[in-house]
Structure 1
Amino acid sequence: MTSGSGGASNSAIAGRVRTLRRLRQFTVRDLAAMTGVSAGMISNIENDRTSPSIAVVASICHALEVEVADLFSTKSLTDRATKKEDREVLHAADGIEKTVLLREPSRGVSFYEVDIPPGATTGTVNSHKGAIELIIVLSGKVSVFLDDVRISVQASESVKFKSEMNHYIANETTDSATFQWLITKRERSENVENP
């Protein structure tokens, strides 16, 4: 194994890089393209034949959407399932329950499952500048209000919109409804010219 100045211990991360790459369904070439590192170098890192520099480790972590500490952790990467009873539940007005499925503000992603009783409304939601929102109805029917437009969305349907719009969700029916709510930053590539 080769070791460069300022390099990280590859034996601690070789298998974890491979596992994380596979969990995200990336090929070695995919990861190489995302990091600017050659596919050969990625393969050598995964097979413990070279020790990556700190800059390469940081680039790999960014592409895999993990913290550097995740590469050195002893916790199993496949034991990340969260039981329903262990998830954080936010209680809002009108009896609305918002279960946190994923919340990573540093990456600009929030994902919730929302149970909304009959007659309830989220009220006007604070917009998230530069974000996109997606509502996916799992059961029942909700009305999504975007500025002055009302969109009726029922089970298995979805609606996507820019978060800058004034918006709220209401259950105008006599039955409960459940929907998933994804809020994510727009991809940087929309605002950056390709060289």
Structure 2
Amino acid sequence: MIATLTRHQIGTVERALEIFRQLGLVEQLDSGAFYMTDIELMIGQSSTEAERKRAARLENKALLPSRTKGGHLSDIRPPEIELELEKEIKIEKEREGETGHPAPAAYGRYNNVILTDTELSGLKTELPDKWEYYIDRLSCHIASTGKQYHSHAATIYKWAQEDAAKGKAAPKQGIPDYSCKEGESL
């Protein structure tokens, strides 16, 4: 029955029980059942490795602050989380680049228009009523076509200049444009 429960071969279980008997961990009763001696002492006790780690942690806490950086990261947090944090920090540093400027942020409906703070403030000053319209327009255009641009700010400025040259102003947010040419109807 033990072999079935543990999914081990019968011979392996028989040898293990024999070793347990020799070590005095198991006794066989008259009925043939096995009885584990001192089981109440074995249940709930921590392993020697756990005891060793616990003692090392207490020692580290007692040491001077300069030596507390030792130890294993797994004592504090799992290594997977540590690796993920390191990757995020590395990506952030790459975005900042060597110049030390803050990383550009994503704007637009689909968060795919990348602009730095200076580019965004330039758009706000040069296109005060239209900058949001052009950011959303570019965001939708990138999402629908999959095109990539070297400079999203330059693309927005170009579109604004083309619209101004055509005499077509960008519609203001929230106000529908019902204008039409003579002879046309809505």
TM-score (ref. length: structure 2): 0.21
TM-score (ref. length: structure 1): 0.20
Tell me which structure has the larger Cα radius of gyration.
2
The structure that is helix-richer by fraction is: 2
